[in-house]
């Protein structure tokens, strides 16, 4: 069977499967895209029979029509960095491939043409886990180009795995931002019936055109169903599930708003547009920086701390209120004392910032003696409720734009809303479990 043929297969176990045959590099394996959108690989030895229900059909692409500008609509630039939001299925192979031109986007999501004039282009095409500091600079410069060109808002399509890091990076980099920049991802591929790509993109476009929001934000599903999307704060959001469509949640903060596909907006608190007297300024990242993350765990060794001696900065994900195993309490905990000695040396050379393994709450290194020792050693970040992602990106941004001796005083400054006012534990739990 040629790739693209729609077939029915019966396996030796009696299972009957239907789907599109896909290309595969292994001659012993039949790759099949099921009707559900999932891909599976079958050992050909286990196939009892296969019937071709529909031959390979080459679908001719629609002739691209010129998109007319509607002067009554705002203009949105959609900049693609990768991910599954703007992708479609090849009926010849069953594979998914990216689609970036405005016409192709309109064909995929026809609702967009009633919402805004769309400009669309590719600025990168990569898995989000492969992004480095230099890519934040590239995205920021492309955003600057679009703002100078006069667009009313910008959507960044992005893979979900490090979307929270990029939203933070852009929020810090784009100083005096006066136009909305919304990051959009998709948890489910566009070739699956349960895809969230269309709704996330349409809701982002609706929010840009119907609100006076002029910051960096994230637009993702608010529930597992297609009821609405949340507009989430760029510096207080975390991905909390590997595959659910409502995986992104605000941490120690509220969502900014919720919006449905029809454009109905409900703000969670009164929103005031930020006014900037100065023009947009890019405060970019030094892509040569080396920042590390050390996770506290039982049986930590001094070598794990020492390995960061040639780095420019370190984020610690401590236990509880912000602790590390540094106390010698018996003959079996001598290593803990050595960890503290290494930490003392390290904190004299580079900024070391504490965060917590806990999702909610804030660091408080004044409660226990362990925390006081860590502060004496030079560990920063006391009283902060930054997520690990926020602390990492903020430290990189500070090291890129300020002198190292300024970091101690700046790390707890609230630049972009990355540090919030006190939020009760009950409020956090209510927001989290109301939708999960």
Choose the catalytic residue: 93, 160, 355, 387. Answer: 160
11 annotated active-site: no
3-state secondary structure of 258: strand
Active-site annotation holds for 161: yes
Q: Is 434 left (phi over 0), alpha (psi -120 to 50) or beta?
A: alpha
Whole-angstrom CA distances from 198 to 37, 110, 188 are: 16, 10, 10
Q: Is 35 labeled as catalytic in the residue annotation?
A: no
Q: Is the CB of residue 137 less than 8 Å from the CB of residue 284?
A: yes
Distance from C-alpha of 50 to C-alpha of 10, rounded to nearest angstrom: 7
Catalytic residue among 113, 236, 239, 258: 239
Please state, in angstroms and rounded to a whole number, the distance separating the CA atoms of residues 89 and 93: 8
DSSP at 353: E
- Residue among 84, 93, 162, 387 flagged as catalytic: 84
Count the Cβ atoms, other than its own, within 10 Å of residue 302. Answer: 16
Query: Is residue 88 flagged as an active site residue?
Result: no
Name the active-site residue from 161, 226, 227, 287. Answer: 161
For the chain, give the longest Cα–Cα distance.
78
Cβ neighbors of 325 (< 8 A, separation 6 or more) are 296, 298, 300, 333, 336, 339
Buried b (16+ CB within 10 A) or exposed e, 19-34: bbbbeeeeeeebbbbe
Both tokens of residue 271? Answer: 């929103």
Give the Cβ contact number of residue 336 at 10 Å: 18
Helix (H) or strand (E) holding 250: strand 248-250
Q: Looking at the annotation, which residues are catalytic?
A: 84, 160-161, 239
């Amino acid at each position: 069977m040629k790739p693209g043929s729609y077939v029915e297969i019966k396996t030796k176990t009696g299972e009957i499967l239907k789907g599109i045959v896909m290309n595969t590099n292994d001659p012993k394996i039949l790759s099949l895209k099921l009707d559900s959108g999932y891909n599976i690989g079958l050992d050909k030895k286990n196939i009892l029979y296969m019937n071709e229900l529909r031959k390979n059909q080459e679908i001719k692409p629609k002739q691209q029509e010129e998109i007319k500008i509607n002067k009554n609509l705002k203009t949105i630039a959609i900049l693609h960095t990768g991910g599954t939001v703007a992708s479609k299925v090849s009926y010849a192979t069953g594979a998914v491939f990216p689609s970036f031109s405005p016409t192709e986007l309109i064909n995929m999501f026809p609702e967009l043409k009633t919402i805004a004039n769309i400009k669309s282009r590719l600025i990168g095409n990569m898995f989000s886990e492969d992004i480095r500091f230099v890519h934040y600079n590239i995205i920021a410069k492309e955003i600057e180009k679009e703002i100078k060109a006069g667009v009313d808002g910008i959507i960044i399509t992005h893979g979900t795995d490090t979307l929270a890091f990029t939203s933070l990076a852009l929020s810090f980099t784009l100083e005096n931002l006066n136009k909305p920049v919304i990051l959009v991802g998709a948890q489910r591929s566009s070739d699956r019936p349960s895809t969230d790509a269309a709704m996330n993109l349409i809701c982002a476009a609706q929010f840009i055109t119907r609100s006076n929001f002029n910051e960096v934000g994230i637009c993702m599903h608010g529930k597992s169903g297609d009821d609405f999307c949340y507009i989430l704060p760029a510096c207080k959001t975390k991905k909390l599930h590997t595959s659910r469509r409502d995986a992104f949640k605000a941490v120690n903060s509220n969502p900014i708003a919720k919006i449905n596909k029809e454009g109905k907006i409900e703000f969670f608190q009164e929103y005031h547009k930020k006014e900037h007297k100065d023009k947009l300024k890019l405060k970019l990242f030094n892509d040569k920086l080396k920042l590390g993350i050390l996770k506290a765990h039982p049986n930590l060794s001094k070598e794990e701390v020492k390995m960061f001696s040639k780095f420019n900065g370190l984020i610690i994900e401590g236990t509880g209120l912000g602790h590390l195993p540094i106390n010698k309490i018996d003959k079996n905990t001598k290593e803990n004392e050595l960890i503290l000695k290494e930490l003392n040396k390290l904190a004299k050379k580079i900024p070391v910032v504490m965060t917590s393994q806990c999702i909610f709450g804030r660091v408080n290194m004044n409660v226990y003696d362990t925390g006081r020792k860590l502060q004496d050693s030079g560990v920063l970040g006391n009283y902060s409720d930054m997520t690990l992602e926020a602390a990492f990106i903020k430290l990189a941004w500070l090291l890129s734009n300020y002198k190292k001796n300024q970091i101690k005083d700046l790390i707890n400054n609230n630049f972009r809303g990355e540090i919030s006012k006190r939020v009760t534990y009950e409020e956090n739990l209510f927001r989290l479990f109301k939708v999960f």
